[in-house]
Structure 1
C-alpha cells in the first residue's frame, strides 16, 4: 500500500484575527471562480463553477460537523483545465450540473484534439454524508479521441475556525493510504482523540491511483459516451457499501419531496417575485436539518451551518404563518439544550437558551468556546416569544405542556441572572475574554457605541432585547392562562406593563425622536439612530404616539437607502455602509421592522421596504437575498453593492420574502376560533395578485386569491377543507 503522511496540513489562510474580534472571518481575496453551495443535513459543500475544489484560498471544501473532509478535487483533461460552458444549480438546490469542454490540446507542438469536441458533464449532489459525482464524457468529433482524465484530490481536516483564519500551534496526526485499486482513505487522529476519516471511491477503478491522484486513460469513438463516478464519504466505515450514483440521486430527491411537503405554497402575478420565493424556499429546505428534536433551520453556509439559537428562532418566527412545524422543531431542540449550570467559558447560566453548537476539534478542546455556547442575550426572550406565538398560531396545547418547564426556566433567567443589577432590564457582559464581546444580533465588537463614537462598556442593555422580553412575557401570560395558571398569567402581564413604562423613561431620546440603541453599564443611553428602534415596533412595546415618529425616521434617506433600511443611519458616528453592522442592510432586520410597521398600521412604509428588497433581489445571483449587503444609496440603473463574505444562503435572509408578504397582507391567526384574518391588507405595486394554497390552521386549510385594487385588496376563497373562517379586517 502507498502511504502519504502530512505533518502540517494546508489551511485556508495564515491570517491573524483582529485583536478586537477573536472570531473575525478573514477576507484575503476574491475567488476567481464563482462558488456554489450544496447541503444535506450536517454536510455541506462549497464548490466552484467548474465543479472543482481548492482552486483558491477560502472556504472551498466538503465539510461535516465543522470539519473539512475534502480540501481539493480538481479535474484536468490531458493535463489542461477544461473550458466552462455553463454551471447550473437545480431549482430545488439538490444538485449542481457543470458543462465543460476541451481547449485545443497539443502534444509535441502538434494539435491532437481540437477545442469543443468533448462534452464533459459533472453532476454533483450530497446525501447522507457523501458527495456523489458523475463525470460524463462524450466525443462529438468525427474521429477517435484519446486522452488522460486526471483527478487531483487532497485533504487537511481543517477545523472550520481554521478555515476562517484561526491559527493553531498544534494539530493531530494525518495519514492517507490506498485501500484498493479504487479507494483512498484520509485519516486524522485529532488532539481531541477523535478519529475522522474520508474515503474517496472511484468507479470504475482508474488506470493509476495514488493517494492524491487518479488517472483514467480514455479512448472515445465518435459520439461514444463514458462515465466516471466519484464518491467522497465522511466517516464511512470501510466495509460499508454505497448505493450507486443514480439510485442515490433518486432516493435523495424522493426524500427531499417527502420532507418539504405540507407547507403553504405561494404564487403571484409577478414572475420574478415567484422566482425569488422559489429560491428562498429551496434555500430554506436545504438549510433545514433533521435533528433528534425535529427539523431545524441551520443559520447559513459556509460559516454558520449548525444550530444557532437566535437565527433558528427568528427564522421560525418568520416562517410561522406558512409552516409552524419549523417553530416546533426549533423550540423542542433549544429546550433540550437549555443551560442547566453556570459555565463562564460557555457564558452559560441556568435557563439560558443556546447561542450556537459546534462539533469540530477546536470546540471539543475548548480552543473556541462554541461546543455549546450561550453568549446570546436575546435567544432566551426570543424563545419565550416564539413559544407564545407558536401556541397562538396553532393552539397546540400538547407542545405547550411539553415546553412550559423550559419557558419557566427561561423566564427565571430573564428575571434573575439576565438582570444582574436588578434594574428591570436584561443585560449582558461576556464572562471571559474568549466569549463574544457583543451578544445581541449585532455582535461585531464595534456595534454598540455612543453618540461620540466611543464603544459602550460594562453591562449593556440593548433596546430591542427589552422589547423581546415585553412581548415574551405578554405571550407567556396567554400560555399560562391556557394552562389554568391564572395568578402566574396576571404576574407576567403586570411585569410586562411595568417594563414598558420603565423602558419609555430610560430609552426614549427626545432630541433624536427615536429610542436609544442601548444603555451602557452606567445606565447612559447610547444616543444613536439605529434599526434596533424599528425592531421595537415589531415587539409592541412602543407607545402609539412615538411609533409614528420612529416609523417616519426609518423611512427618511439617512436610514432608507432605496434598497432597505440601514442598521445605522447615515451621519451617525461609526456609520460605514461597507461595515458588517454599522450601516449595512440586513434583509431579516428589514423583515422584522416591516412586521412592526404593519403592527402600528404604517402599510405605505411596509410597501416601500417590500419593494426595495424585492428590487435588490432582482439583481442578486439566483434571485437570492444574501445575509447582508452594503448600505450605499440607491442609484438609477445600477444594483446594490454586495458584501464580500456574506453567507448565501442564510436562513433568515431566505425567510425574508415570506415575512414581507405576511406584513403586507397583515395575516393573523386565532386557532381557538379557527379564524384567519387579513388586517389592513395591502399589496405593493409590483404584485397584482397573490394566491395562497393550503394555508393551514389546525386540521383545516384554505386556498385564497388576493387581488390588488389601488391601495385596497379583494379576497376570494378558492377552496376550504374543514371548519375555517377567513375575513378582511380594516382597522384604524
Structure 2
C-alpha cells in the first residue's frame, strides 16, 4: 500500500491493479475516487512470475521474471519500482538481459480508469444513480488520457511514458494497452518510465514531483524524517518492543497526514483516519489521534484544531446533521458527496467530536504552555459549548444525546456500526441515546474549558458556571448510569431513560475523562481485566457471555487498540498501574506479531498458547489512532514511572 498526502495506491505483490471491489479494493485513489482501476504488466503477452513481491519504505519494489525451470532459467529479469507523490504514481521498469545473446521482448501495460467513488466500491449493496456520467479516452504520442464527466463534475487520469509507447485500444470499453518493443544487447539493460497523473474532481492540480522513483522516494523520506527523526521522550523501564511500536506508529502517522485548510486559509497536514476507506479528516479519529500524540508531536493537535475550527458548523442542515457550533464528523471530497448522494461532504453525525475538540484545545494549552491557540479559538470554543447545551442535549436531558440518522449513521458515538449500542439481549437502543463515554468527554470538556475561561479568556464568572455544570453532570451520571448488581456502568441510556445494560468497554473511557471517583474508577478498571473482557491481546469492546457478543463483529466483541489506549491512560490516571502494564504488554506483543504495527481492530478471540492474535478481516492498516496507540501506552508507562 503506497500512501502520501491523502492519496493511496493499493497494489498486488507484483505491482498490478485488478479493479477489485468490496472490503479491500485495489487501485489508485485520489480524493475518494479511483483513478486507476486496471494496471497490468505483461512481458511477451504473459504475466511475469514474482520473484520478490513489492516492498519498500515509501515506495514499492518488485522483482519479476519469466516462468522458468532450473535447467531453463529466464532470459530476463525485470525490476519494477513504484512511488506515489500526491496524485502522481511514478513507475520505473528496468529490464535486464540475463544471457550472452541479443533478445527482444514486448513489454506492455494494460490501463483503465473507472473513476468509481469509494462509496460505490464498499460492499453495502447500495446502487447510486450516476445518470449522464461518461468516460472518454484520448491517445497521444506519449500515452493516453482518461476523462470523466458528469454535469459540471470533471476528473481525469493521464498516463505518459518515456520512451513513447505504442497505444492500442481494446475492442470495447476504455481499456488501453501501452506497449514497447525492447531490444536488449547481451547482458544489457533498458529502462522505461511511466507516470500516472490524477486530476481529482473539484481539486486544484497536485504538485508535480520528481520524474523518477528514486528522487520521489528521497523527497518522501525527507518529509517523513522531518516528522519522525526526533524520538519520543524516553521513559525508563519500557520494553524495546514498545519503543519499536512507537517508532512504527510515528512512521505511519507521517504517511497518514492529509492536506487540510485552516480558518485563515492556511495549508495544514492533519491525521487522516486510515486506509483504504478513511483517508480524510475525521473529527473523532483525528482528535483522539492528536490527544495520544500530544506529548510527542503537538503540531498534530494544532493542525487538527485549526482544520476542525475551519469546518465547525455555523447553521442548521438536517441532511448533514449540522447544528451551530458542532464539530464535523467526516469530510468527503468525491463525486457522490458533491451531488449529495451520500450524506457527507461535511457530515456532522457525531455526538463526541465536539466535546473532544474542547478537551484537546485545553490539553494543548496545558501540554505546550502556550495559550495562543486557545485564545485564537475562544469563539469556536464558546460555540461548541453552546451546541452541547442547546442542541447536544445537556439542557433538555442533562446528557449529550443523538438520534439515529436513517440516511447516515444509526449510532453516532465511536461504536458507530448498526446494533453496537445494545442491551444484553442484543436489542439496539432507540430514541434519544446518551452513550456513557460521551458524558465523560462532556465532563472533561466543561472542566478544561472552565480552566481556560479563568486563565486565558478572562471570564471567571463563566468558569464558575462551567464548573458547576460539570459537577452536576458528574453527580447525576453516577446516579443514572451505575448498575449496582453488575458493579459497572451502563453502556447508555435509551430514549426513555432506561439503562442500556450491555457490559461494554465504553465504561473504561470514563476513567480517562475523570468523571468517576477513584473508588468506582478502580472497580471498573479491575473489572475490565477479568477474562470475559480481557483476551490476553487486549480488552474486548463487549464482554463475552452476552447474547450480542461476537469476536469477529466490528464493535460487539472485537479488540480496538485505540479503545484500549484510552482505557490504559485512564487506568494510569487512577493508579491502576499493574493493570495498565498488563494491557500495554498485550498490545505491544500484538504489534510485534504485525511488524510492530497495530491494525485498526483485532478479532476478540481469547489468547491461545502458541497462537498469535487473530486478524480482523476488514481492518484498516495503517490506521491513525491505532498508529498513535503506542504513544498513549508510552504516556501511561511514564505515569507509572513517576509514581
Question: Is the shorter-chain TM-score for this pair beyond 0.5, marking a shared fold?
Answer: yes
- Aligned with residue 604 of structure 1, among 557, 569, 578: 578
CA contact (8 A) 2:15 2:54 kept: no
Please name the residue that 1:465 is paired with.
438
* Aligned: 1:253 with 2:221: yes
Deviations 1:610-643 (A, max 9, x none): 11111111222x3321110110000011111111
- Aligned with residue 260 of structure 2, among 287, 291, 302: 291
CA contact (8 A) 1:182 1:209 kept: no
* Aligned: 1:329 with 2:303: yes
CA distance in 1, matches of 2:480, 2:238: 46
CA contact (8 A) 1:103 1:114 kept: no
CA distance in 1, matches of 2:446, 2:272: 27
Matches within 5 A, 1:258-273: 258=226, 264=232, 272-273=241-242
- Aligned with residue 85 of structure 1, among 30, 40, 51: 51
- Aligned with residue 281 of structure 1, among 250, 255, 260: 250
- Aligned with residue 161 of structure 2, among 202, 218, 234: 202
Matches within 5 A, 1:122-141: 122-141=80-99
Unaligned ranges ≥5, structure 2: 170-174, 263-267
Please name the residue that 2:361 is paired with.
387
Deviations 1:482-538 (A, max 9, x none): 122111111111111111001000000011111000000000001111000111111
Deviations 1:340-370 (A, max 9, x none): 1111100011010000011111111111001
CA distance in 2, matches of 1:40, 1:131: 10
User: 1:548 offset after TM fit, Å?
Assistant: 1.8
CA distance in 1, matches of 2:395, 2:417: 25
CA distance in 2, matches of 1:592, 1:289: 24
Change (3 A) 1:62 1:331: same
Matches within 5 A, 1:84-483: 84-91=50-57, 94-104=58-68, 114-165=72-123, 166-191=126-151, 193-210=152-169, 212-235=176-199, 243-245=210-212, 246-258=214-226, 264=232, 272-293=241-262, 294-419=268-393, 422-430=396-404, 432-483=405-456
Deviations 1:356-415 (A, max 9, x none): 011111111111001100000000011111111111101222111111111110100111
Change (3 A) 1:156 1:301: same
Deviations 1:228-267 (A, max 9, x none): 1111111189999874214444334334434555663669
User: 1:178 offset after TM fit, Å?
Assistant: 3.5
CA distance in 1, matches of 2:346, 2:615: 32
User: 1:645 offset after TM fit, Å?
Assistant: 1.1
Change (3 A) 1:559 1:241: closer
User: 1:435 offset after TM fit, Å?
Assistant: 2.2
Please name the residue that 1:542 is paired with.
516
User: 1:77 offset after TM fit, Å?
Assistant: 1.3
SS at match of 2:281: coil
CA distance in 2, matches of 1:266, 1:287: 24
CA contact (8 A) 1:176 1:184 kept: no
SS at match of 2:424: coil
User: 1:208 offset after TM fit, Å?
Assistant: 4.5
TM-score between both structures, scaled by the size of structure 2: 0.93
Deviations 1:97-154 (A, max 9, x none): 112221139xxxxx9x944442211111111311111111112233333221111110
CA contact (8 A) 2:315 2:323 kept: yes
604-613 or 240-249, larger mean C-alpha shift: 240-249
Please name the residue that 1:572 is paired with.
546
Please name the residue that 1:30 is paired with.
none
CA contact (8 A) 1:152 1:212 kept: yes
- Aligned with residue 628 of structure 1, among 588, 601, 605: 601
Count of residue pairs the alignment pairs up = 623
CA contact (8 A) 2:231 2:247 kept: no
User: 1:454 offset after TM fit, Å?
Assistant: 1.6
- Aligned with residue 69 of structure 1, among 35, 44, 48: 35
CA distance in 1, matches of 2:229, 2:377: 26
CA distance in 1, matches of 2:239, 2:230: 24
Change (3 A) 1:269 1:427: closer
Deviations 1:562-618 (A, max 9, x none): 000000000122000010000000000000000000000001111110111111112
User: 1:190 offset after TM fit, Å?
Assistant: 2.0
Q: CA RMSD in A?
A: 2.2
- Aligned with residue 615 of structure 2, among 617, 642, 648: 642
User: 1:223 offset after TM fit, Å?
Assistant: 2.4
CA distance in 1, matches of 2:387, 2:393: 8
TM-score between both structures, scaled by the size of structure 1: 0.82
SS at match of 2:396: coil
CA distance in 2, matches of 1:635, 1:248: 44
Deviations 1:271-302 (A, max 9, x none): 54444333211111010123223220000001
CA distance in 2, matches of 1:426, 1:252: 42
CA distance in 1, matches of 2:367, 2:206: 48
CA distance in 2, matches of 1:133, 1:251: 16
CA contact (8 A) 1:518 1:525 kept: yes
322-331 or 204-213, larger mean C-alpha shift: 204-213
CA contact (8 A) 2:6 2:272 kept: no
